[in-house]
């Protein structure tokens, strides 16, 4: 296939089927050619800036590819969750560079993939916790929060020391969702949301240490 034909193929697939990333095997089948020949053609297209190699063995248009689309191209069982999903939906002020993806498959050495969008980390979880979102491949905020606290508890990390949360008080986690997680995670989720609802000073972050007075001791005594 010529360069213009490849570009037309990628563009049409994205417009008609919403698929923008393909494996070398898929592209070899489209062109009815060997993978060796396809790799040469793809390399030329990448050098010309017509397509991009998003991760080894996965190619697509140079722009407009989302994290969830890329995760699905690598692992059809994966969906985006955790801090990245919360940030996408406005519940964390930071924009994480690590994109957590829950799956039921073990990736072993390839569990972390560096991409132009960030580092995709595939986390193998039990079927009880794994729940593919009904709309798209980004977990809704209630599920993403539970997934995030589940991961952080296993790593022994405090969420308030890592992220600044906002709007968590608006969340109502359905009991059916909470029931999928251990009781320790359930309590952590309930505590964090409750604390947000009682905080009237904007985004929720780790408490600051009180500042020491800069006034001399004599001045303090004179005030009394």
Residue 22: give the domain boundaries: 3-65
Question: What per-residue confidence (pLDDT) applies to 136?
Answer: 85
Can you give the C-alpha Rg of the chain in angstroms? 23
- Mean pLDDT computed over every residue of the chain: 88
Tracing tokens 């309590």 back to the chain, one arrives at 187
Q: List pLDDT tens digits, range 179-209.
A: 999 999 999 999 999 888 766 444 555 555 5
* Domain-located, residue 82: yes
The answer for residues whose C-beta is within 8 angstroms of residue 5's C-beta and 6 or more apart is none
Tracing tokens 């240490």 back to the chain, one arrives at 209
> pLDDT band for position 212 (50/70/90)?
low
In order of 19, 40, 109, 116, the CA distances from 26 in angstroms are 12, 15, 24, 22
Percentage with pLDDT > 70 across the chain: 87
* Domain-located, residue 222: no
Residue 106 and residue 37 share a domain: no
**What is the DSSP pairing of strand 98-103 with strand 112-115?**
unpaired
Mapping DSSP onto H, E and C, the string for 6-68 reads: HHHHHHHHHHHHCCCEEEHHHHHHHHCCCHHHHHHHHHHHHHCCCCEEEECCEEECCCCCCHH
* Domain-located, residue 26: yes
Q: List pLDDT tens digits, range 138-186.
A: 999 999 999 999 999 989 999 999 999 998 988 999 999 999 999 999 9
Q: List pLDDT tens digits, range 92-124.
A: 998 898 999 999 998 876 789 999 999 999 999
Residue 114 and residue 190 share a domain: yes
Q: How many domains does the chain have?
A: 2
């Amino acid at each position: 296939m010529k360069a213009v034909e490849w570009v037309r193929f990628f563009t049409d697939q994205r417009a008609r089927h919403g698929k923008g990333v393909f494996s070398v095997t898929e592209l070899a089948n489209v062109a009815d050619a060997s993978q060796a020949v396809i790799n040469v053609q793809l390399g030329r297209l990448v050098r010309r800036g017509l397509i991009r190699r998003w991760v080894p063995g996965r190619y697509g248009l140079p722009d407009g590819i989302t994290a969830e689309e890329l995760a699905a191209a690598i692992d059809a069982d994966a969906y985006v969750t955790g801090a990245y999903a919360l940030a996408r939906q406005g519940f964390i002020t930071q924009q994480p560079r690590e994109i957590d993806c829950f799956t039921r498959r073990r990736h072993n050495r390839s569990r972390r993939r560096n991409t132009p969008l960030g580092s995709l980390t595939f986390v193998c979880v039990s079927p009880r916790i794994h729940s593919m979102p009904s709309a798209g491949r980004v977990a809704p905020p209630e599920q993403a929060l539970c997934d995030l606290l589940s991961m952080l508890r296993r790593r022994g990390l405090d969420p308030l020391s890592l992220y600044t949360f906002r709007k968590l008080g608006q969340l109502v986690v359905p009991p059916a969702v909470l029931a999928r997680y251990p009781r320790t995670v359930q309590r952590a989720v309930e505590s964090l949301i409750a604390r947000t609802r009682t905080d009237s000073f904007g985004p929720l972050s780790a408490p600051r240490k009180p500042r020491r007075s800069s006034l001399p001791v004599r001045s303090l005594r004179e005030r009394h």
